Amino acid sequence: MKSEFYKELVDRYLEKKLGEEELEVFFHLLDEGKLDAYLFESMETVIRKKEEKPSVVSLKRRPYHYLYRVAAAVVILALGIGLFRYYARPAQEASPAIVKTAPVVPGGNNAVLTLGDGKRIILNRVPDGTLEQGTSFSVRKEKDGLVVFDVNGTAAAEIPQDINKIETPKGGIYQVILPDGSLVWLNNASSIAFPTRFAKNERRVTITGEAYFEVKHDKTRPFRVLSNGQEVEVLGTKFNVNAYRDEAAVRTTLLEGSVQVRAGQSTGLLKPGFQSVLKGPGSIVIRPADLESVMAWKEGFFQFDRADIPTLMRQLARWYDIDIKYTGAVPKDEFVGKIKRSEDIHKVLDILRYGKVKFRLEGRTLIVE
């Protein structure tokens, strides 16, 4: 589990047992805030042990390069994680002449929640539990990768129509349970905006990027999803919407139930196993869908069925948070296959090289030759 890996990484760092490559991973995760909770826990333990002894360590008498154990603990607890990051790095990294690029690692549970009052919460940096509590609602983080909005039905009408937003960055993925109990999975570089409570006659959300929905059935309140020029309307069902702006089309794929897709004056009714494709205003095409390929991202895979290089590269760029650069004509190769998204990017590129396409990773830029 990630939590065990993070804790072991912190412990080994404090014991000065990390190798060069492990240190790169440590500082990358530290910059992302993924180690904060484990650092606090470890440092508090160190401080408690020191407080049991008669001697007291003074920061003023310690050189900065020694801030690894107790001194680092005091810095963290008194001045915050940011200062620790500055002092804890090896001295050579502080030199402006040396710029070290963070290692390219697979994405994970990472998102930002912006509440209706403007409060921003970096979800991967806060512990599980209640994040916000109102008279008639609560927001809580239940486990790694899931945030839940609860509404007290008996007092729901008193709740203001604040709009909340959850955004995943490149390399991020997250789940949210909406106020009506519907479950949404956000893929990387995506967002969903929704009210603290839904209206009496409809449930309306807006998304960017890609999201998978499991909508609670409510025949009195249709569920509507707005995304990049189209509207999807359902009563209760399971479906996926891919609405990235850098893709050639908006694709809505139905797994269960029924879905009506609307764009301009054009509408289409989907049956399970079918997909609507929107290219340009009002041009909806309905066709059979490869459900396994469409839902591969949710199951932790890249899956390609004759995918061209640009399509494949866009997915890698979002998941590994890298830039793509083409040095010549875009190769015409197509790929068929399935790769775990948890794989190191170098292993993914090794697999893709079987297609005789040349790749070169320089820092955080993947060059296609």
Integer Cα distance of 123 and 139 in angstroms: 12
Q: If you classify domain 108-294 with CATH, what class do you get?
A: mainly beta
Average pLDDT over residues 290-301: 94
Burial class (CB in 10 A: 0-12, 13-18, 19+), 182: buried
Q: pLDDT tens, 234-245? A: 988 999 999 999
Write the CATH number of the domain with boundaries 301-368.
Answer: 3.55.50.30
User: What is the CB neighbour count within 10 angstroms for residue 361?
Assistant: 14
Q: Tell me, what's the pLDDT at 316?
A: 94
Angle at alpha carbon of residue 207, lines to 325 and 140, rounded to 5°: 110
Which sequence spans correspond to the domains of the chain?
A: 2-94, 108-294, 301-368
Query: What is the pTM (predicted TM-score) of this model?
Result: 0.72
In the Cβ-directed half-sphere of 335, how many Cα atoms lie within 13 Å?
24
What is each CA distance from 244 to 77, 187, 208, 249, 318, in whole angstroms? Answer: 41, 10, 6, 8, 11
Beta-strand pair 172-177/190-195: unpaired
Q: pLDDT tens, 310-330? A: 999 999 999 999 999 999 888
Higher pLDDT, 344 or 331: 344
Burial class (CB in 10 A: 0-12, 13-18, 19+), 249: middle
Q: Tell me, what's the pLDDT at 122?
A: 93
Q: Which two tokens stand for residue 366?
A: 């993947």
Q: pLDDT tens, 224-233? A: 999 988 999 9
Q: pLDDT tens, 250-291? A: 999 999 999 999 998 889 999 999 999 998 776 899 999 999
The answer for residues whose C-beta is within 8 angstroms of residue 24's C-beta and 6 or more apart is 100, 102, 103
Integer Cα distance of 367 and 369 in angstroms: 6
pLDDT at 18 over 60: yes
The answer for residues whose C-beta is within 8 angstroms of residue 79's C-beta and 6 or more apart is none
Integer Cα distance of 35 and 26 in angstroms: 8
Per-residue pLDDT band for 69 (boundaries 50, 70, 90) equals very low
Integer Cα distance of 81 and 87 in angstroms: 10
User: What is the CB neighbour count within 10 angstroms for residue 32?
Assistant: 18
What is each CA distance from 288 to 167, 210, 235, 291, 369, in whole angstroms? Answer: 30, 19, 22, 9, 34
